[in-house]
Chains A and B, each alone.
Chain A
């Protein structure tokens, strides 16, 4: 237990549990999950389903942040992805067939990956600061999405496409299954290979890594492509949820949620060590918070106010001074004393 309280996941997990318990006080059946037509239903399932786009993008963002970078363009990329898929389907004569949906989604993700290549090029080859480099696409991307949809909200009618967000497999929402699959693949790719360690090395000390023979440029490039890939899939989920591509509103501010999820999960914005599990919990936390606010009878529009409070608390928990104060209160022996014995 002590090892868990000292773990980096302690605070995010504690926050999530407290938030869930808070819901229980207002909604006694908050934790109940019922089976209907072979699907699972309930508040917890809703939270899981709705957190999928944020979780996806946050996974990619975790790796970007681990390299000391940031990607502000993910919301715009998600909007472009949705726009590409919907415009393609709406413009084809056999709009509602499964084949069309598959081609449309493949195209959308391919476009997203291309945009990631662009971001990665700006950051790793041209050496532009990540926040500026991705700001370009953050602002231009929405315009691009508007161009694709011709300024309209493009609606589609395709059952396979709408399943991406609303469908179920094995009783669980497809959206969360996709997000969890990406989580598992990312975890395996980073922790079962040497990629994670090399990403962390580049994030902590890029020059030392380069002199040790690490292909720092390639690694940086790859993470921007990966986060754009995640944003592309997230964009499809968002569009699928409403069966429409809204260039203006789709994925708006999702980059901030994703960054917040990463930070709540314990990955420092200064780069270096990252925790994918932490990000998973962070994304759940944000979605639970968004669900809790209306449940408590507070207008949903005040959501951002509460997120701001979370940001402040997280900052406090990560600041060395606040940690020192907390460490004094917790009766754990100091490292130095332990090693002296």
Chain B
């Protein structure tokens, strides 16, 4: 590869090192990759871009043989190949360096670089030859690292470079760098890029996965963008702007989010008269201290606060999941006591817990059963929901919330987090609540589902439903809420109309209280 003739190099340039096309990978109930293509050429740095959950790492793992592919072809060096293990792909010249360096920190740099391929003489490892060869490779990459030093004594950045040097020593034709820069400082990144440029000049194809847009634009020649497991496009870096890239990565979700924000801003609430729900001095020992709160019809209350600030605990008190020690609750001016979730549901309150897995989904029941559970529970076991009504409700919500798979009998455990969350939302919407309490409804789900759920909340409020929206993502809280409640140390420390409030304002409110205490 390295000592190749000019013509050979030319030939390799025209023929891609790796060409993946129509690659699909699915896990039970989830399509992780859907007909994705990736073309990698010699002497090019190719950035693989996409949001969390877009399928970047799945694609890399499909290429290196960690996952087997359901459909599609992988052509390596002109021949169709299927790798069954990372070792097979490595033998074919594909080396991967992961974010976490997996080398042996107690061995020397040279030993790590040549682990498993040590030069031998008379059956013994030839330490001198090993150090010389390692030194040569390091020098070629322009790295001034002593091959005899112990790897663990070097900072992470150097260890990462050693990992790359090891990959180069294997004569890799393709080097995959999975988020190599996430723990490096600016100087270290510059050093890494230097090495990458050296390798590129030698004709190595490099895949670069990173979240840092600046770096991608600095080093890459081409970019492939994935979104929700699908191929969005391949772009030449020099001809693409950062804005275009972001739009490709986020897609129409960006527009959706902007639209939601605009709608939420236009949304007005009548805060005169009796609120739907009012709590006075509501609290529980060791969980929340004396909170006053009013929620009006059609109002979205956003609760901001750090983990442990009492935001979840307040939601649980409002729902009767925990019983308050003191304080009163009034619904439409009538004194109401909630001792169990069941009573709250009877009063048209719904609560979606932040712990989707442990407090939400019933994994071994179907989508349909999960959806109707709350409604069925409030009807009582003797009055089963008629099959026709159940089918109609389930079908309606699968369509309305775009739940996938759209099969009512699919087991809940096989759904992705976003789809499970939508089923849980449907469970509560079916009960036709007047107050919907959502605790972290978008945690750990992909951006598409996130946008859909936020859109749903905005629509519900417009139709007159009151919503309490709790999220660690302040942007989300600010985007949706009419009024903002900030909590800290189990107390409500601020409440204000959500007009021109920014994320940094909220952070200051949370932090400002710290200064006052000190």
Binding site for B on A (CB under 8 A): 192-195, 197-198, 200-201, 204-205, 207-215, 219, 272-273, 335-337, 339-340
Instruction: State how many angstroms separate the Cβ of A63 from the closest Cβ of chain B.
Output: 12
- Establish whether residues A208 and B361, one from each chain, have CB atoms under 8 Å apart when the complex forms: yes
- Establish whether residues B384 and A336, one from each chain, have CB atoms under 8 Å apart when the complex forms: no
Query: Once bound together, how far apart are the Cα atoms of A209 and B360, in whole Å?
Result: 8
Which of A193, A197, A340 sits near B365, CB closer than 8 Å? Answer: A197
Query: Once bound together, how far apart are the Cα atoms of A308 and B27, in whole Å?
Result: 37
With A193-B384, A194-B385, A209-B362 as given contacts, are A339 and B405 in contact (CB-CB < 8 Å)?
yes
**What are 10 A-B pairs at a CB distance below 8 A?**
A192-B384, A193-B383, A194-B380, A204-B364, A205-B361, A211-B341, A211-B359, A213-B378, A272-B364, A335-B28
- Establish whether residues B381 and A273, one from each chain, have CB atoms under 8 Å apart when the complex forms: no
- Name which of B26, B364, B369 has the most chain A CB atoms within 10 A of its CB: B364
The 3 closest A-B pairs by CB, nearest first: A213-B377, A213-B345, A194-B384
Query: Once bound together, how far apart are the Cα atoms of A214 and B405, in whole Å?
Result: 26
Chain B residues near A340 (CB-CB < 8 A): 24, 26, 31, 70-71
Query: Once bound together, how far apart are the Cα atoms of A212 and B361, in whole Å?
Result: 10
Binding site for A on B (CB under 8 A): 24, 26-29, 31, 70-71, 319, 321, 340-342, 345, 351, 353, 358-365, 369, 373-374, 376-385, 405, 427
Which of B26, B340, B378 sits near A336, CB closer than 8 Å? Answer: B26
Chain A residues near B26 (CB-CB < 8 A): 336, 339-340
Chain B residues near A212 (CB-CB < 8 A): 341, 373-374, 377, 427
Chain B residues near A197 (CB-CB < 8 A): 365, 369, 373, 376
- Establish whether residues A273 and B362, one from each chain, have CB atoms under 8 Å apart when the complex forms: no
- Establish whether residues A201 and B362, one from each chain, have CB atoms under 8 Å apart when the complex forms: yes
- Establish whether residues A198 and B351, one from each chain, have CB atoms under 8 Å apart when the complex forms: no
With A198-B376, A339-B405 as given contacts, are A211 and B353 in contact (CB-CB < 8 Å)?
yes
Chain B residues near A215 (CB-CB < 8 A): 342, 377
- Chain A residue at minimum C-beta to C-beta distance from B34: A340
- Chain A residue at minimum C-beta to C-beta distance from B352: A211
Chain B residues near A192 (CB-CB < 8 A): 384
Instruction: State how many angstroms separate the Cβ of A188 from the closest Cβ of chain B.
Output: 12
- Establish whether residues B377 and A200, one from each chain, have CB atoms under 8 Å apart when the complex forms: no
Please name 9 further chain A to chain B contacts, defined as beta carbons within 8 Å, in addition to the given A340-B26, A340-B70, sorted by A numbering: A194-B383, A194-B385, A204-B363, A205-B363, A208-B361, A212-B377, A212-B427, A213-B341, A336-B28
Query: Once bound together, how far apart are the Cα atoms of A194 and B387, in whole Å?
Result: 11
Query: Once bound together, how far apart are the Cα atoms of A200 and B365, in whole Å?
Result: 8
Query: Once bound together, how far apart are the Cα atoms of A333 and B392, in whole Å?
Result: 31
Query: Once bound together, how far apart are the Cα atoms of A137 and B373, in whole Å?
Result: 34
- Establish whether residues B361 and A210, one from each chain, have CB atoms under 8 Å apart when the complex forms: no
- Name which of B24, B351, B381 has the most chain A CB atoms within 10 A of its CB: B381
Instruction: State how many angstroms separate the Cβ of A193 from the closest Cβ of chain B.
Output: 5
Query: Once bound together, how far apart are the Cα atoms of A201 and B376, in whole Å?
Result: 11
Instruction: State how many angstroms separate the Cβ of B414 from the closest Cβ of chain A.
Output: 9
- Establish whether residues A337 and B70, one from each chain, have CB atoms under 8 Å apart when the complex forms: yes
Query: Once bound together, how far apart are the Cα atoms of A204 and B351, in whole Å?
Result: 20
Which of B24, B341, B362 sits near A204, CB closer than 8 Å? Answer: B362
Query: Once bound together, how far apart are the Cα atoms of A272 and B345, in whole Å?
Result: 24
Chain A residues near B70 (CB-CB < 8 A): 336-337, 340
Instruction: State how many angstroms separate the Cβ of A194 from the closest Cβ of chain B.
Output: 4
Chain B residues near A214 (CB-CB < 8 A): 342, 373, 377
Which of B71, B369, B379 sits near A201, CB closer than 8 Å? Answer: B369
- Chain A residue at minimum C-beta to C-beta distance from B363: A204
Which of B28, B374, B381 sits near A213, CB closer than 8 Å? Answer: B374
- Establish whether residues B359 and A208, one from each chain, have CB atoms under 8 Å apart when the complex forms: yes
- Establish whether residues A194 and B376, one from each chain, have CB atoms under 8 Å apart when the complex forms: yes
Chain B residues near A337 (CB-CB < 8 A): 70
Query: Once bound together, how far apart are the Cα atoms of A66 and B321, in whole Å?
Result: 24
- Name which of A207, A210, A336 has the most chain B CB atoms within 10 A of its CB: A336
- Establish whether residues B341 and A208, one from each chain, have CB atoms under 8 Å apart when the complex forms: no
- Establish whether residues B379 and A194, one from each chain, have CB atoms under 8 Å apart when the complex forms: yes
Query: Once bound together, how far apart are the Cα atoms of A210 and B353, in whole Å?
Result: 12
Instruction: State how many angstroms separate the Cβ of B389 from the closest Cβ of chain A.
Output: 13
- Name which of B26, B360, B373, B380 has the most chain A CB atoms within 10 A of its CB: B373
Query: Once bound together, how far apart are the Cα atoms of A211 and B363, in whole Å?
Result: 15
Query: Once bound together, how far apart are the Cα atoms of A192 and B377, in whole Å?
Result: 15
Instruction: State how many angstroms separate the Cβ of B292 from the closest Cβ of chain A.
Output: 25
Chain A residues near B351 (CB-CB < 8 A): 211
- Establish whether residues A208 and B360, one from each chain, have CB atoms under 8 Å apart when the complex forms: yes
- Name which of A193, A197, A201, A272 has the most chain B CB atoms within 10 A of its CB: A197
Chain B residues near A205 (CB-CB < 8 A): 358-359, 361-363
Query: Once bound together, how far apart are the Cα atoms of A34 and B279, in whole Å?
Result: 76
- Chain A residue at minimum C-beta to C-beta distance from B319: A211
Instruction: State how many angstroms separate the Cβ of A7 from the closest Cβ of chain B.
Output: 15
Instruction: State how many angstroms separate the Cβ of B104 from the closest Cβ of chain A.
Output: 31
- Establish whether residues A213 and B365, one from each chain, have CB atoms under 8 Å apart when the complex forms: no
Chain B residues near A213 (CB-CB < 8 A): 341-342, 345, 374, 377-378
Instruction: State how many angstroms separate the Cβ of A78 from the closest Cβ of chain B.
Output: 28
Chain A residues near B340 (CB-CB < 8 A): 210
Instruction: State how many angstroms separate the Cβ of A159 from the closest Cβ of chain B.
Output: 39
Query: Once bound together, how far apart are the Cα atoms of A193 and B386, in whole Å?
Result: 10
- Chain B residue at minimum C-beta to C-beta distance from A217: B340
With A211-B351, A336-B28, A340-B71 as given contacts, are A195 and B405 in contact (CB-CB < 8 Å)?
no
- Chain B residue at minimum C-beta to C-beta distance from A335: B28
Instruction: State how many angstroms separate the Cβ of A267 from the closest Cβ of chain B.
Output: 12
Query: Once bound together, how far apart are the Cα atoms of A210 and B342, in whole Å?
Result: 8
Chain A residues near B385 (CB-CB < 8 A): 194
- Establish whether residues B373 and A201, one from each chain, have CB atoms under 8 Å apart when the complex forms: yes
Chain B residues near A207 (CB-CB < 8 A): 358-359
Instruction: State how many angstroms separate the Cβ of A221 from the closest Cβ of chain B.
Output: 13
Chain A residues near B384 (CB-CB < 8 A): 192-194
Chain A residues near B377 (CB-CB < 8 A): 198, 209, 212-215
Chain A residues near B382 (CB-CB < 8 A): 193-194
- Establish whether residues A210 and B362, one from each chain, have CB atoms under 8 Å apart when the complex forms: no
